[in-house]
Amino acid sequence: MDLISLVWDNVVPFLFVLSVLVFVHELGHYWVARRAGVRIEVFSIGFGPEIYGRTDKAGTRWKFSAVPLGGYVKMFGESDAPGDEEGAQARRLTDEEKKVSFAHKRVSQRAAVVAAGPLANFLFAIVLFVVMFSIVGSPRLLPMVGEVQPESAAEQAGFLPGDRILSIDGHEIEWFSDLRAEIAGKPGVTLDVVVLRDGREEALRATPTVHTEDMGDGTVQRIGQLGVVADTSQVEHVRENPGTAVLKSVDITIGMSAQILDYLGQIIVGKRSAEEVGGPLRIAQMSAEVAQGGFVNLMNFMAVLSINLGLLNLFPIPMLDGGHLVFYIAEAIRGRPLTPRIQEYGFRFGMILVFLLMIFATWNDLVYHFKVFEFLKGLIT
């Protein structure tokens, strides 16, 4: 593989995904800040020296910078901490400047500006899901048997891998979810099942085994189990109407956020290994792999990554949006901002913590995902 192909297949997809997600995040900050009357000085994709840019009528400099690994929105007065008398004396803002200064906005407005970045990432994920469900369709498993569990009701009834379940007690089965619903509601009941096998219909009789499930409120529910595993390769995409697509997209975004938080909680308490945590190198690798699967797969990956980015930025760590929100909550409770010294120490701690987390994630990429040290060891030995 020549250098151009290597860059095109691996670097370009990563930079595309990262740049889009950063733009969406920063656009959230920008849009709410403008609504609050804050003057935006710079909107940059990337850091470092400017490569290309232009200044709009509002005086905002929109630009691409040399290091495309992030971005930022620079707001007028953002560096002036409220209550910092030395800073206020040094700048001596006019009344007109105070009107467009971020630091002189109400705490609720500042909090809204900060929260808008992560919220924009969640909204972007929802929009991507809606587009996919409306145009491409949402994936649904066909009622195809991929595996028959040993000593199950399905094995006793004579089910075989490759069977397509057509009906149960005369009720048509269109999707695998229909099969689950029929079986779950009839524990211990003998059912007449029709399957399609090798182009011919076969009649089977199955009695789902009874499984009891504790509902957590002192009651026990009886659920039927057949003992078949779906063939995950047998999928059809069904287009959703706009209303259903929106509801489904919101539900998926909320559910995925809960799963990510649960996953992180399991790592913290030691139930899962932190080796699974990936960093920028892993994201770059996955971007390249997903891009080869087509634009739809890339959209899905971007939606998932956007949710991760939104959650990460809401963590209560100084330097991240969540850390700023903690300071604003404290300010709202106290009736005045935290002292500049406390905020400075907080940001220093946050910077160190974020830096350590980046090192940890990159170490995981090199050791567990790319196995660089095993490769080097193999070269030596």
Write out the catalytic residue numbers. 26
Q: Is 178 exposed, middle or buried (0-12, 13-18, 19+ CB in 10 A)?
A: middle
- C-alpha triplet 288, 290, 292: angle, nearest 5°: 75
Task: For the chain, state the CA radius of gyration.
Answer: 27
Alpha-carbon torsion (116, 121, 122, 123), positive or negative: positive
β 191-197/164-168 pair status: antiparallel
DSSP output for 27-57: HHHHHHHHHTTPPEEEEEEEEEEEEEEEE-T
C-alpha 172, offset from chain centre: 36
Alpha-carbon torsion (167, 170, 175, 177), positive or negative: negative
Contact between 344 and 318 (Cβ < 8 Å): no
Largest CA distance in the chain: 87
DSSP output for 155-217: HHHT--TT-EEEEETTEE--SHHHHHHHHHT-TT--EEEEEEETTEEEEEEE-PEEEEEE-SS
Contact between 314 and 118 (Cβ < 8 Å): yes
Buried b (16+ CB within 10 A) or exposed e, 122-132: bbbbbebbbeb
Contact between 64 and 46 (Cβ < 8 Å): yes
- Please report how many Cα atoms fall inside a 13 Å half-sphere around the Cα of residue 129, on the Cβ side: 25
In angstroms, the Cα distances linking 191 to 149, 151, 178, 204, 219 are 18, 18, 15, 8, 26
